[in-house]
Structure 1
Amino acid sequence: MKRPALKSSPLFRNGFPLIAGATLLVACSASDGLQADQHDQASLSDRPDMRCEQIRNSVVEAGFSDKVSVTCDGARALIASDTYPDHEKMTGIVGTNEQVPVPADYAAPVPLNPVLGTSPVTRDAALAVAVNGVPIFDYTGGGEMTQADLQHHQAQHDTLQTKQLDACGGHAGRGDDYHYHVKPACMIAEMKNSGDAAIIGWAFDGFPIFGDNNPDGSAIKPGDLDICNGQPDGVYGYRYHTSEAAPYIVQCLMGEVADIRDLPRVAPLQPAGGGPGLAPGRPPSGGVDNLVFTEHDDGRRTMEYSYQGQDYYMNYSPADEDGCYVFETRTVTNQGDVKTGTYCR
């Protein structure tokens, strides 16, 4: 997916790309007069055309169709974005991994004919995508969970309790990609259709994600949600929820996934001139203080913080080459040495 020209595209804000391709493309049909936004309709599980229309509507009605595209091929929808949301990012993180959010082309596949499986599926990467195009991971930051891990709260790997997340429920991962690990609070606040009936995302098994309550506004009773934080749904066959308590959001997938190894990942940045990529950051012991992420009018991004009385920073801005960024960093990971270089997607 090639990005549009930096200066001419309306999909760039403050010099950072929002998405390649402004047009919302949907190869599906709302035939037979069915309205996919009504919860009292017949099940959508055997209507790929209507599932496609509902995915499209969830993005449009939330107000993100200028930055997120949806295309359908009859078997799946691709929800494409650059994973870089408009809302505040990173500020307030204590358990930082010293990585920063850099736009990344991302096409999230959502099956149009989902089928519930017989056992939960996990992976050490995104399990879903929010309607603003940002990937959604499970609540942990310690690699893929085993079936046994699903049965117990992984407190030592809980990204919320270990203060690895910003106030919006996200952070930058090892690919310098922004993603959510818990309820995307800031995105939900931005949604034009925010409310219990609004879909906030789609899991990679094809089922929708709702907020803390049932779509009709009623409270979810203790024990209603299964191990993956979902429950049966009369319209979609099944649905996931966010929750105040762990696991906070989709913990695993209850639907069938053809080949989980084929689901997308964001690769780490690579040096513009070739050679080994950036090594992942190492969270400083005990966390950092006063981390602030700032987006400047000239396109620069800065993340500043302190650790044991010393000041550190990560500065980067778009380079002349599309998809590349000029970095200057002083991190705890690199023992305080100043590093410079140009890195690309």
Structure 2
Amino acid sequence: MSKFLCRLSLFLCAALCASSALAHGEEAHCAAVTASVEDAGFSDVVTVTCRDGQALISGDVLPDHEMMTGIIGTNEQVPVPALNYASPVQLAPNLGSGPHTRDAALGVAVNGIPIYDYTAGGEMSQDDLASYQAHLDTVVTGQLDVCGGHAGRGDDYHYHAEPTCMIEQMQNAGPDAIIGWGFDGFPIYTKTNPDGSDIAQGALDVCNGQADDTFGYRYHTSEGAPYIIQCLMGDVPDMDRLPRVGPLVPAGGGRGPEAGRPPQGGVDALVFVQDEVTGESLMSYSYEGSDYYIKYAPSGTDNCYDFETRTVTNGGALYQAELCR
């Protein structure tokens, strides 16, 4: 039997098992989402609002932990706040015609940071989901920091693998702690079952999930690819309208700077620092003996920043502009 058919059979089994799982209404699901944020200790930086069948987990997509350290295959993007970014989690999750994928966030961590699949470089097809995409693997290609995340094309920080630094911050860290939610409304746990037992080999389906007695279904992180939620098994209305953080644009209008491209062979000594007094952020690194950097600071206009950069992508030329969300 092919790998895809094996995973398809796992999905069908999960769907059948989920149909007999403990059901609960939208109010109880809202309470579960809210509790996952509060119990983890992130309610001071993340808000949960339930309305119109969704729990909106809102924050500025900028975590309070180390960022960018350890990246080699940088795309020369930096983490910039996206104020009041709201991640919608379905309050009546339903396993339907999945798996669904998109070239953007599939879920959200309990600290409000979006969660992507393990790849970078475009949306995967249904066939791609059933086979490992080594050339797009953000872990293998050195595109992620020590915390499992990086800044994407929208200069937005997000996770592509287990959010290890966030988990270390969680007040309720443990196998039974929910670390995030898929946009379809199903919870995400770490590498073991909630009772602490090991997950049986081959138990996780193509989206890195399995049946759950409480929620009907749950996702997990894993040691190897896909590392975290790879696709959505539940239905999501208007999948194409799920939120995404757009690229920064010049204050006066027009197009922003060209999207960064990972330099061939990777960079050295990449460091990202933030000055809490001035508000300035600086990412510096070297490539083939030359030094490069991206720095920015609030410009005084809401959601706008004064940028100064010398990147490999633009040939080391000085670029200065006020860029805005």
Give the structure 2 partner of residue 162 of structure 1.
141
Match of residue 302 from structure 1: 282
| Equivalence map 1:172-187=2 (5 Å) | 172-187=151-166
SS in 2 for 1:97: coil
- Structure 2 residue 185 is matched with structure 1 residue 217: no
3-state secondary structure, aligned to 1:315: strand
Partner of 2:17: none
TM superposition shift of 1:299 = 1.1
Secondary structure in structure 2 of the residue aligned to 1:261: helix
Cα shift at 1:319: 1.2
Residues 1:321 and 2:301 aligned together: yes
RMSD: 1.1
**Alpha-carbon distance in structure 2 between the residues aligned to 1:290 and 1:278:** 24
Write the distance in 1 (CA, Å) between the matches of 2:71 and 2:30: 37
- Structural mapping, 1:94-173, within 5 Å: 94-105=72-83, 106-173=85-152
Q: Following superposition, which runs of at least 4 residues in structure 1 exceed 6 angstroms of deviation?
A: none
In structure 2, the partner of 1:197 is: 176
User: How far off is 1:74 after superposition?
Assistant: 4.8
Q: Which residue of 2 aligns with 1:288?
A: 267
Measured against aligned partners, the alpha-carbon deviations of 1:60-112 in whole angstroms (never above 9, x if no partner) come to: 01010011010001511111111000000001200000000000131111110
8 Å Cα contact 1:94-1:163 kept in structure 2: yes
Q: 1:270 and 2:249 equivalent?
A: yes
SS of alignment partner, residue 98 of structure 1:
coil
Q: Given residue 302 of structure 1, which amino acid in structure 2 is its aligned partner? A: L
Task: Pick from 311, 321, 331 the counterpart of residue 291 of structure 2.
Answer: 311
**Equivalent in the alignment of 1:207:** 186
| Residue identity in the other structure for 1:301 | S
Kindly provide the amino acid, as one letter, of the partner of residue 295 in structure 1: Q
Structure 1 residue 46 displacement after superposition: 3.7
Q: Say how many residue pairs are matched.
A: 304
CA distance in 2 between counterparts of 1:44 and 1:125 reads: 31
Aligned residue type for 2:124? M
Letter of the 2:233 partner, please give it.
M
TM score, norm. by length of structure 1:
0.87
Shift in Å, 1:126: 0.4
CA contact (8 A) 1:49 1:74 kept: no
CA distance in 1, matches of 2:29, 2:52: 10
Q: CA deviation at 1:141?
A: 0.3
Q: SS of 1:103's equivalent?
A: coil
Give the aligned residue type for 1:196: P
**1:89 and 2:63 aligned:** no
Runs (5+) with no aligned partner, structure 1 = 1-41
Does 1:250 pair with 2:229? Answer: yes
- Pick one of 20, 25, 28 that aligns with 1:50: 28
Higher helix share: 2
Q: Please say if 1:231 is aligned against 2:214.
A: no
Could you tell me which of 312, 315, 321 is aligned with 1:332? Answer: 312
AA at the equivalent of 2:98: S
Structure 2: which 5+ runs fail to align?
A: 1-19
- Corresponding position of 1:70: 48
Q: Distance in 2 between matches of 1:119 and 1:85?
A: 30
Secondary structure at the aligned position of 1:148 is classed as helix
Distance in 2 between residues matched to 1:246 and 1:323, nearest whole Å: 36
Name the SS for the 1:209 alignment partner. strand
Higher relative contact order (CA 8 A, sep 6+): 2
Q: For 2:100, give the aligned amino acid.
A: V
Q: Using the alignment, how far apart are the partners of 1:231 and 1:262 within structure 2?
A: 26
Query: What is the TM-score when the length of structure 2 is the normalising length?
Result: 0.92
CA distance in 2, matches of 1:101, 1:193: 27
Identity between Structure 1 and Structure 2 (%): 62
Q: CA deviation at 1:145?
A: 0.6
Q: Report which stretch shifted further, 130-139 or 272-281.
A: 272-281
The letter of the residue matching 1:229 is: N
